[in-house]
Amino acid sequence: MELDRIIHEPARLRILTILSGLDVADFAFLCTTLGLTKGNLSSHMDRLEKAGYIEVRKSFNGKIPHTDYRLTQDGREQLAAYWAGLEAIRALRDQPPEPPIEEGD
């Protein structure tokens, strides 16, 4: 079973899952909610943006820079596919082992 490696990273999975329940969130919200350092979060967001999973909008609140993030349609679809894939893996794992084939049957 193949899973999207970009999404599979724990912090990025959580970022995308949070964004899937929201319209838009800013950098500060994600940083405090996830408890990540700014540098680490920034690195994750760069990767997600490059993958086309999130849309970044930069603006200014007066003189203070402000960055908003939004899940793209592709990001939403890939995240849904990821969870479906993971469910499939879990289902396989939870299946009872097949009984051994007896000789002479």
Binding-site ranges for other proteins (CB under 8 A): 1-6, 8-14, 17-37, 39-40, 43-44, 47, 51, 61-62, 68, 83, 86, 89-90, 93
CB 59 within 8 A of CB 53: no
Residue 37: helix, strand or coil by DSSP?
Answer: coil
| Residues whose CB is less than 8 angstroms from the CB of residue 44 and which lie 6 or more positions away in sequence, other chains included | 9, 11, 12, 15, 36
Q: Which is nearer to other proteins, 37 or 73 (CB)?
A: 37
Q: At closest approach, how far in Å is the CB of 98 from other proteins?
A: 21
Q: At closest approach, how far in Å is the CB of 77 from other proteins?
A: 14
